[in-house]
Chains A and B, each alone.
Chain A
Amino acid sequence: MMAGTRNWITGATLVLGCYYLGTWLSSSTGLPLPGALTGLLILLAVLFIVPTAEPLVARAASPLLRHMSVLFVPAVLGVSAYWSEIAQNGWAIGIAIIITTCISLGISAKIAEKLLSSRHAHLSQVPAKKDAAEQVTEQREVKKGSDND
Chain B
Amino acid sequence: MIEAIKNAATLSGVVWLAITLLFYWVGLAINRKYYRYPISHPLIFTALSVGLVVYFSNTAMAHYQQSAGLLHWLLGPVTVALALPIYRQWQRLRHYGLPLVVSIMAGGIVAPILAWAALWVFNSPISIQLTMLAKSITTPLAMEASAQIGGIPALAAVFVITTGVVGAIAATSIFRVFKVTDTQSQGVALGTVAHAVGTAKSLHMGDDVAAMATLGLCVNGIFTAIILPLIFSFLSPSL
Tell me which residues from 32 to 73 in chain A have a Cβ below 8 Å from any Cβ of chain B.
32-37, 39-44, 47-48, 54, 57-58, 60-62, 64-65, 67-73
* Chain A window 114-141, contacts with chain B (Cβ cutoff 8 Å), 1 for yes, 0 for no: 1111110000000000100110110111
Residues of chain A contacted by B204 (CB below 8 angstroms)? 141-143, 145
Residues from chain A with a CB closer than 8 A to the CB of B189 are 105-106, 108-109, 112
Residues of A within 8 A of B140 (CB): 36, 68, 71
Question: Are B81's CB and A137's CB within 8 A?
Answer: no
Cα A98 to Cα B196 with chains together (Å)? 17
Q: CB < 8 Å: which of A99, A117, A140, A142 contacts B118?
A: A99
Q: How long is the Cα–Cα vector from A64 to B203 in the complex, in angstroms?
A: 20
Q: How far is the CA of A41 from the CA of B28 in the complex (A)?
A: 30
Q: Tell whether, in the assembled complex, residue B122 and residue A91 are in contact, meaning their CB atoms are under 8 Å apart.
A: yes
Residues on the B chain within 8 Å of A47, using CB: 83-84, 87
Contact of A113 among B68, B72, B79, B185 (CB under 8 A): B185
Chain B contact-residue range equals 35 or more
Q: How far is the CB of A98 from chain B (nearest CB, A)?
A: 5
* Residues in B204-239 with C-beta less than 8 Å from chain A: 204-209, 222, 225-226, 229-230, 232-233
Beyond A71-B74, A109-B175, A149-B200, whether A36 also contacts B144 by CB under 8 A is: yes
A147 contact set on B, CB distance < 8 A: 196, 199-200, 203
Q: Give the complex CA separation of A85 and B127 in angstroms.
A: 10
CA distance A22 to B166 in the complex (A): 33
Decide if A97 touches B196 in the complex (CB within 8 Å). Answer: no
Partner of A64, one of B74, B87, B107: B74
CB-based closest 8 A-B pairs: A108-B107, A78-B154, A34-B144, A92-B122, A137-B206, A109-B189, A104-B111, A61-B81
Residues of A at the B interface (CB closer than 8 Å) are: 15-16, 18-19, 22-23, 32-37, 39-44, 47-48, 54, 57-58, 60-62, 64-65, 67-82, 85-86, 89, 91-93, 95-119, 130, 133-134, 136-137, 139-149
